[in-house]
Structure formats: structure tokens, C-alpha cells
Structure 1
Amino acid sequence: MLDQGASPQTPKIPGGRQGGVPRLTRRKPVEMLVAEGGQGEGGELRRSLGLWQLTMISIGATLGTGIFVVLGEAVPDAGPAVIVSFVLAGLTALFSAFSYAELAGTIPVAGSSYSYAYATMGELVAWVCGWCLLLEYGVSVAAVAVGWGQYIDELLHGTLGLNLPQALSAPPGEGGLFNVPALVVVLLAMAFLLGGARESARANTVMVTVKVIALLLFCAVAAAGIRAGNYQPFMPLGMAGVSAAGATLFFSYIGFDAASTAGEEAKDPQRDLPRAILLSLVLVTALYCLVAAVAVGALPWHRFEGSEAALSGILHNVTGQGFWPTLLAFGAVVAIASVVLTVLYGQTRILFAMSRDGLVPAVFSKVDPRSGTPRANTVIVSAFCGTLAAAVPLGNLADATSIGTLFAFGLVNVAVIVLRRTRPEMRRAFRVPLSPLFPLVGLGLCLWMMFSLDAVTWGVFGAWMAVGAVVYFGYGIRRSRLRTAPDPASTEE
């Protein structure tokens, strides 16, 4: 529930001796996190975002990915019960969203779950969480950019009768040499972000409006093709298929936490961040389920196999015309571009927080005094994500992103419980209902969905964690700005 008038100011607690605290478990006090808000190398982030912009950031980062890109991969696993898979993934996200809402209102900083873990479980856990977020945000930008290129091809074919050359529209391993459209959309998003947070938020709001209209239009047109027999059998591959599809579709909920990365650019973060997170998730889940129900009703589930632009194909089958698929392709191009924009935004702000703590190079926290944005950070991240998008197949990217997200979300649920115990006196703008039950349920669901993913995905995740360990112990632990600072951990018990 919302606690009106909550404030981030909390009683200052005594600092313990850093020498008596293990380096891996040193925590960053909440007061220090809040005091640093907006400060970077050479400038400050600007507080220019209200509730509407924050909600649009979360919707922009979430809505579109699962429906426009991953639906074709999930339906063959679950059949018509993909609707249940969306609900399952949405519930998993909702329990974690409660935890995000509480912590975002209590610790309104740019680092999202990385900063929450730093304040509650120590530096090593914070690093692991931040490293997972790099996987979640960075790789999802690349994966979504790949889907954007597929809809660009659909749009060109419908309007001009042209198709992109295979060599320039697919990555190596899928018949191409370099996915140019995927790189282009990342660079376009970079250009918006370099203009400033307010300007990016305005562009995102326009794009969110377009994609909501496009999805509602799909439902209205495709509903004419619904056949009751397409829902039978409803669960052809059993609950195991529903669970596997749900784990894959969780990729489509990545982004509801994007508003939490804007904690240092929000006008009233304690009030607006919790509301933006929960409101965006509810709206996105409702629209996902509506579109999925219409899609599987209009097309037999076994025909989704191998289709990464399934909605356009459904409209073509229902109407027999090229106009509607072309119109939807335009909506998808705009929708997916907004996901790239907002998720890339979140990635840069997480790296900003990690850099300010000394765990990654200082270049990522350098703020341009004129635009109030981390320009070098934005350029570096965009170049990396764009290159990744042009070289790696979509399926592997989506599952790797899901496991990193689930791991980070699980840590957020733990962080809520820990902060309730160690700092019960803090004022909270939002409180998770029935805590610690809801956070524990959220943690359990995250673990369940993680173990629904295949061994290859776990292998990729393990390799990513190994690389992260090398980076942390080779660089971060020795350059952490908390290495000489007092840590209150010993006094919080």
C-alpha cells in the first residue's frame, strides 16, 4: 500500500569500522546512496520525469517484445495455453514488481536492483546482481533489435514490394553476414538518448501510443478469424510446456523495472516510481493476454512454428489483403524501436551507478554538463549492443536474457526482506503486501522459471557469471569506493 508523504530521509546510523567488515560483504548505506543521487563525473543527471513519463518508460521497455517477437517461439511449446503462460509469467513479474515498488520508493537511485542489493546484501551480491542486469538489459536490446529488422523487411515488402538482402538482414549462422537493420535501430535510440532524458521520454510516449493502437487494431481485425476449434486441445503439451513457454515469455516482461533506473531523474521518485512500476505491469499483462487469445484463436497453434512475425501472418490469413499486415508491421517497427530506446536507457543508468561506485571504469559515470546525460556511457553501450545484435541469433539471446532477469529479480525479493529486518524504522512510500510472504513467493517463482530453462541457457549463464567473477576480482574489488569508507553492517544487526 502507498504511504503518502513518505520521505527518503531516515535516521542516520553509526558507521562501523571498515577494517572489521569483510570486503565482499561491505554494504553501502541507504543514506549514502540517496545523497549521491544524480551526481556523476563532471555533472549531474537532471530531474525532469513525472509519473506519466515514468509509466511510459516502463511500458515502452516492456510492451511489444513478447507479442511481436517471441510469441512465435512460445506457442509451439504451450499451444493455445500460451495465454496461461503469459499469465504465469505476468504473476512471476508481479510479485517481483511489488518488491521493486517498495525498494524504488525507499532507495530512489539510478542503479535499480544493483543498488538495492548493495544496501542490503553487500558488495559481492550487488556485483552479481549488476552483472545480471548487464545481461538482462544489454542482451535484450540486441535481441529486440533483431526482431525490429524482421518487421522492417515486412514493411518494405508490403509497401514497396522489396525485401532486404539476406546477407545484410541476418547474423552469421542464419544465412547472413551482418544484420544492418538491428544495428541501425540501436544507433537511432542512441541519438535520442544523447539529446537528454526529457526529450527521449517525449519520443517514447509517442511510440508507446502508436504501438498500443496497433495491437488493439490487430485484435479488432483478427477477431473475425477466430475459430473455436483452434483452442482444442487447449494444453497439448501439458503443464511442462506451459511452464517452458512461460519462462521464455518472461522475456516479454523485461522492462517493467525500467522506471526504477530513472530514480535520479524523477521529479518525485518516492511517490511516482512505485506507481509507475505497478501500473505499467498491469496494463501490459492485460494487453498481452488479449492479443495472445486472439492470435491462437485465429491461427492453429502448430502453424506458429518458426514464425517470428506471427501477427502479420495472421492478419494476412484472416483478411487476404496486404494492407493490414503492412499497417501492423509499421506499428511493430515503432513498438520495438521504443523497447530498444527505453531498455538501452536503463542499461546506461545501471552502468552509471556501478561506475560511480568504482566497480566499472569512471567513463561510464561521466555526465555531460550541457545535456545532463552520460554521453560516453551511451555511445559505448550502444556500440556494444548494436554489434551484438548484428552477430547473434535471436533465440539464444532471448533465453539468456530471461535467466539473467530472473536471477536479478530473485535478489530484489530477498533485498526487501533483508531491509525490512535491518532497517525497520525507514519510511517507505510503498510496502509489499503480506511481507515476507509475497517476496518469498516471488523468489520461489523466479527460481521455478529459471529451472524451466534448458541446459544450454544455464551454460551461457554460468559462463557469463564466470566472466563477471574475473572482472570483479581483477578490477572492481580493488577500485571500490567503499574500500576505505565506514560500513554500518556491524551495527545493523
Structure 2
Amino acid sequence: MTSIAQQLLRRKPIPRESGDSPLRRTIGLFPLMAIGISATIGTGIFFIMSQAVPLAGPAVVWSFVIAGIVAGLTALCYAELAGAVPVSGSTYSYAFATLGEGTAMVVGACLLLEYAVSAAAVAVGWSQYVNELIGNLFGWHLPAALSNAPEEGGVVNLPAVILVALCAVLLIRGTRESVLTNAIMVCIKIAVLLFFIAVGVTGWNSDHFADFAPYGIGGIAAGAGVIFFSFVGLDAVSTAGEEAKNPRRNLPLAIIGALLVVITLYIGVAVVGIGAQDPKKFENQEAGLSEILTHVIGSSWPGTVLAAGAVISIFSVTLVTIYGQTRILFAMARDGMVPKVFAKVNERTRTPIQNTIIVSTVVAVLAGVIPINFLAEMTSIGTLAAFLVVSVGLIILRVREPELERGFKVPLYPITPILSILGCIWIITQLRPITIAVFAIWVAVFLVFYFFYGRRRSILEPGNELGDPDVPFTAVVRQPGTHDGVER
């Protein structure tokens, strides 16, 4: 009989890239990049300057650089693992292959929290921007009862629920349709940010950079801590591992390409934003980038353009986060960690329809009745924990599987993953204690579920079948501490 310790430490071997997957490989390089860009560029960049400039002053430009470097270190680690383990499941699958079943379940809990809660949070944010855009264009707003959560004086946030439903319909129709729609919306959101840069630079005043770092290194670091979460989302590319064309090549290229696009846009927005507006005016500036352009142009129409860009931006973020959530649950269900309903794929659309409906229903309920502040606070720590595991897993995989085919190798190994680990730990220490406490409770609940359900139904449990007819899978079971494989 397998002991609990053995169950927690047993590892699934590196999955083989094969044609067995019920998911269809339809996503090329550019749509993969669009997934990463879409999940990363959300509402954050439209408003983050008003939070970061008061902390760092004009040196917020360096805060963006530092945050981008920390995110970039993790992105490089993701790029190597995505090329080496080209399957659905993102960090969960990487943890199962490197750190064991118990750690994979903890990571699964982190990812489910990150994706479900963030999808609900951005859906609520979408509702707010839709209301603003309607007000700018037509001069009226949605009734408070239908655009706010009960705690905020409403009945249900109907626009947020409608957004989730639209995303679900797209995802059920097929992955190809979903990624095409997402790619179009990504092009629009990039165009909106380029519009800000092009218009904002006409109001350039170099005097705004005179007192460059009024709060010193500490202020720059504090600004980087706030800005870092505007880079979260690059990991979404790795959830498409089984639907990517030529995954060993395209997954790493897509992650690195998305990172470069995001960093370039963010730094461009930061430099132009400071050049166009006195740093002292950023504090308590709720309208963000649109207010800067209003001052430069002397008219309110740029605000309408940016509000429209934010609406499109958030739509694409919600689409990608729900997509990522369903693929993580697909991988976990295939391994026996959660009920098999999440792994069933429709023969015609080649998408996990039941999975998508369940996930979308949960997200819609969260978005419809819970305020955005509570939702937003719960996304950060799950993301950072997943980032940590990726960097640790990369080091372990290099030691255990040195001959494994990799589409990309991180430069300056092992310095890169070590710096990534230290960067994530540093940012976690900046989080509020209540956030860490709620996260610990969530993980504990998930481990209880694993103890009573997942460990006995795992595909690695002796006597269990490896998968089911709907989810073909071939595994080689390695015992902890050995390198020998036995076909089961």
C-alpha cells in the first residue's frame, strides 16, 4: 500500500508531445503571443501611474524597468518549462513533473484562485468602464441596482455577468474562434496605448524630470512592487500547451515576445506620462491616462477613446483567464485530482464544454455579487506562489532531466531562476497579512480535498486506470528518488 508521503512525492514523468490529446493544435505563434499580451495588459496600465508616481516620482520609469526585469526572469523560466513540457496545465503540470503530486495540488489551488478570482475581478472592472463609456457617448448610465454588487447597494452586476457569458459562448464554439477574437482585441488595445504615447508626447516638458528620484531607492522599489502586478499574465501562454502548433518552438517564443511587447509599451507609457504631466498631479488622479490626455488636448474626447480601449482590453483579459482556468482544470481532471467532468472534450468542437460552463457559472456568480476590491486582493499571492514553483521546478528539472529536449534554455543558469525566486519572495513580503492568511486557508481546504479525493483517484495510484477513453494518456511512473521508469 502506498504511504501518504509516497503519494505526496510521486511524480508524473515529463508528458510526451503526441497527437493523442483530445484538444486540437490550432494556435500559431502570433495568437499565442496575443494570449500573453491580452492576459497581461488589462486595466492596470491605464491607472497604475496614479499609484506608482506618488511613491517613486519621475523615477517610476526605473520602477517599471525593475518590475519588468523581475517578471522577465520568471517569464524566461516559463519559456524553458513550456518548451520542455508542452501540455495543458501550466505550473500545475510543471510541478507534477518536478516536485511531486502534493506540491502540484498546492499549485493547482494557487492557479484556480488566481484565474477564477482575477476573471471575476476584471469582469467587474469591465462593468464600470462600460458604464463610463455609455455616459460619455449617450449621457446616461445603467441603473445602480443592475451594475453593482449587493454590498455596494445593487442587486447584481449584470454587465459583468453578461461579459462572462459572452466569453463562455466564444470558448465553447472553439479555440480557433476564441484566439482569433482575442488577437483582434489585442491589436486594438496596443493601438490605444500607442495612441496615448503619440498624443501625450505633444505635451512633453522635460522639466517634469528635474527632481528625478525624490524618494530615493526605497521609493523606486516601492513603485516596482505596485507595478509588478501589471506584468502578471504572461504565464497564460503556458496553459495552451496542448493546443499550440509546434509547441517546443512557439511556446517559448510567444512568452518572450509577449514580454518584450509589454515592457516596451509600459515604459513608453511611463516616460510619456511623466513628460506630459507634472509628477505632483498624479496623486489621487482617478481618471489615469485619460485625464493626462485631457490636459494635453484640452478636450474630453481622448478619455472616451481610452475608455473604449479599456472596455476592449478587459474583455480580452476575461476571455483569456477563463480559457486558462478551464485548461488547468482539464489537466487536473485528467490526472484524477478533480472530477473527470472537467476533462471531457466535445467531439465536434474539441473543447471542454462542460468544464467551460461550470467555470463560467462560478466566475459569473463571483462577478455578479462580490465587490471588486475583495476580488482584486486575492489574485496576487496565488500568482507569486505559482511563479516561485516555476523557478524552483526549472532548477530541479535541469538536474533530473539534463538530456530532455528543450525548445529554449534560460540564459545565465542558475543565476536567472535564483534571482526570480528572490524577486518573488521579496514581493510576497510586501503583501498584507490578511491576504497571506486567506491564501493559507484556501490551500488548506484544497489539501483536505486532495486527502479525501485526489490521492486515491490519482492516475499514479496503483490499481487505477491511466485516464479514460475520452482522455488518452501515456505515463511512465517514476518512484521518488529514482530515475528509472516503468510503463503502466
- TM-score of the superposed pair, with normalisation by structure 2: 0.90
Give CA deviations for 1:138-194 in whole Å, capped at 9, x if unaligned: 222122222222221221122111223333323344454432222222221111111
In terms of mean alpha carbon deviation, does 455-464 or 48-57 score higher?
455-464
1:8 counterpart residue number: none
1:365 counterpart residue number: 343
Q: Indicate how the Cα distance of structure 1 residues 371 and 487 shifts in structure 2: closer, same or farther if over 3 A, else same.
A: same
2:120 counterpart residue number: 142
1:61 counterpart residue number: 39
Letter in 2 for 1:380: I
Structure 2 unpaired stretches of 5+: 465-476
In terms of mean alpha carbon deviation, does 453-462 or 202-211 score higher?
453-462
Give CA deviations for 1:367-414 in whole Å, capped at 9, x if unaligned: 111101011111111121222223333344334212211111111000
Deviation at 1:228, TM superposition (A): 4.0
Q: Indicate how the Cα distance of structure 1 residues 279 and 220 shifts in structure 2: closer, same or farther if over 3 A, else same.
A: same
Q: Which of 474, 477, 481 is residue 490 of structure 1 equivalent to? A: 481
**Secondary structure of the residue that 1:83 maps to in structure 2?**
helix
- TM-score of the superposed pair, with normalisation by structure 1: 0.89
Q: Indicate how the Cα distance of structure 1 residues 393 and 285 shifts in structure 2: closer, same or farther if over 3 A, else same.
A: farther
Q: Indicate how the Cα distance of structure 1 residues 458 and 57 shifts in structure 2: closer, same or farther if over 3 A, else same.
A: same
Distance 1:307 1:471 in 2: 44
Deviation at 1:339, TM superposition (A): 1.1
Give CA deviations for 1:438-475 in whole Å, capped at 9, x if unaligned: 11111111111111122232223222222222222232
Letter in 2 for 1:113: T
Contact preservation (8 Å) 1:56, 1:204: yes
Contact preservation (8 Å) 1:105, 1:274: yes
Correspondence 1:424 to 2:402: yes
2:189 counterpart residue number: 211
Q: Which of 250, 255, 259 is residue 277 of structure 1 equivalent to? A: 255
Q: Indicate how the Cα distance of structure 1 residues 357 and 384 shifts in structure 2: closer, same or farther if over 3 A, else same.
A: same
Distance 1:18 1:426 in 2: 28
**Secondary structure of the residue that 1:482 maps to in structure 2?**
coil
In terms of mean alpha carbon deviation, does 439-448 or 18-27 score higher?
18-27
Distance 2:151 2:447 in 1: 29
Correspondence 1:448 to 2:426: yes
Contact preservation (8 Å) 1:117, 1:412: yes
Letter in 1 for 2:481: S
Q: Indicate how the Cα distance of structure 1 residues 101 and 375 shifts in structure 2: closer, same or farther if over 3 A, else same.
A: same
1:265 counterpart residue number: 243
Contact preservation (8 Å) 1:68, 1:311: yes
**Secondary structure of the residue that 1:430 maps to in structure 2?**
coil
Distance 2:347 2:105 in 1: 28
**Secondary structure of the residue that 1:390 maps to in structure 2?**
helix
Contact preservation (8 Å) 1:70, 1:249: yes
Distance 1:250 1:368 in 2: 38
1:466 counterpart residue number: 444
Deviation at 1:204, TM superposition (A): 0.9
2:379 counterpart residue number: 401
Deviation at 1:51, TM superposition (A): 1.0
1:129 counterpart residue number: 107
Correspondence 1:384 to 2:362: yes
Letter in 1 for 2:482: T
Distance 1:25 1:89 in 2: 34
Correspondence 1:411 to 2:383: no
Q: Indicate how the Cα distance of structure 1 residues 236 and 456 shifts in structure 2: closer, same or farther if over 3 A, else same.
A: farther
Correspondence 1:196 to 2:174: yes
Contact preservation (8 Å) 1:258, 1:346: yes
* Superposed CA RMSD: 2.3
Q: Indicate how the Cα distance of structure 1 residues 46 and 297 shifts in structure 2: closer, same or farther if over 3 A, else same.
A: same
Correspondence 1:475 to 2:466: no
Distance 2:206 2:285 in 1: 22
2:7 counterpart residue number: 23
Letter in 2 for 1:218: F
Contact preservation (8 Å) 1:248, 1:399: no
Q: Indicate how the Cα distance of structure 1 residues 371 and 134 shifts in structure 2: closer, same or farther if over 3 A, else same.
A: same
**Secondary structure of the residue that 1:22 maps to in structure 2?**
helix
Distance 2:459 2:153 in 1: 47
Distance 1:305 1:391 in 2: 30
Structure 1 unpaired stretches of 5+: 1-16
Q: Which of 2, 16, 34 is residue 34 of structure 1 equivalent to? A: 16
In terms of mean alpha carbon deviation, does 80-89 or 256-265 score higher?
80-89
Q: Indicate how the Cα distance of structure 1 residues 124 and 455 shifts in structure 2: closer, same or farther if over 3 A, else same.
A: same
Letter in 1 for 2:16: V
Q: Indicate how the Cα distance of structure 1 residues 20 and 163 shifts in structure 2: closer, same or farther if over 3 A, else same.
A: closer
Q: Indicate how the Cα distance of structure 1 residues 299 and 210 shifts in structure 2: closer, same or farther if over 3 A, else same.
A: same
Q: Indicate how the Cα distance of structure 1 residues 308 and 122 shifts in structure 2: closer, same or farther if over 3 A, else same.
A: farther
Deviation at 1:488, TM superposition (A): 3.6
In terms of mean alpha carbon deviation, does 352-361 or 85-94 score higher?
85-94
Distance 1:466 1:232 in 2: 51
Deviation at 1:133, TM superposition (A): 0.9
Letter in 1 for 2:483: E
1:11 counterpart residue number: none
Correspondence 1:337 to 2:321: no
Distance 1:456 1:240 in 2: 24
**Secondary structure of the residue that 1:52 maps to in structure 2?**
helix
Contact preservation (8 Å) 2:17, 2:87: no
Distance 1:465 1:403 in 2: 11
**Secondary structure of the residue that 2:242 maps to in structure 1?**
coil
Give CA deviations for 1:39-88 in whole Å, capped at 9, x if unaligned: 3xxxx111111111111111111123321354444444444333333222
Distance 2:238 2:29 in 1: 12
Contact preservation (8 Å) 1:151, 1:329: yes
Letter in 1 for 2:362: F
